[in-house]
Amino acid sequence: MTSYPRKLFESSSGHHLLELICGLALTALLLLLSVTSYAGLVGDQTLKFEARRLKAVLEQLTIDALQRETEIIIEFGERSYLAKKKNEHGGVLLRHQLKNPVRIDAAAKEVRFATLYPSGVSTPLTVILTDGKDFCRIVLSLRSRISLRCGGA
């Protein structure tokens, strides 16, 4: 009886070790690519979420200043903002801590606060939120109009 050598990828009992290693390596590569792109997507959405949230907060505080007929002061830190009434009690209306890695950029540090007046007028303000890679710019105009722009200049 003559015995012939088996070919590399022929097996009657299942897969060879080489096939299994190639399959696992390909699976690991695809998993690595999907995890890195998912992490980038989540980071980008965090910045846009915080920017949209700040815009909505400014819009609501503008309405509150008109309805309560009181001045509202908004103070900005590097990773937070605080809204309070300007009266004898000075009650805090809102305090929010930004999610990591989002922060208020150093370019906007010259303006640390804004005031919303009951007449619908506000102190003009530009707030730049950044996560190190991208940025969003929120502009509060003199007549309390609020615009949001993310991405390039």
pLDDT of residue 27: 92
125, amino acid identity: L
What are the residue boundaries of the structural domains of the chain, listed by start?
Answer: 17-150
Q: Are 39 and 81 in contact (CB under 8 A)?
A: no
List the structure tokens of 106: 């150093």
Query: What is the separation of C-alpha 66 from the centre of its chain, rounded to a whole number of angstroms?
Result: 29
Give the pTM: 0.70
pLDDT of residue 7: 59
Q: Are 46 and 129 in contact (CB under 8 A)?
A: no
Question: Is 17-150 a CATH 3.40.50.300 domain?
Answer: no
Q: What is the pLDDT of residues 87-119, one digit of tens each?
A: 767 688 888 988 888 888 755 556 688 888 988
Strands (DSSP E) contained in the chain are 71-76, 80-86, 92-97, 103-104, 113-116, 125-130, 135-140, 146-150
In angstroms, the CA 112 to CA 81 distance is 10
pLDDT of residue 137: 92
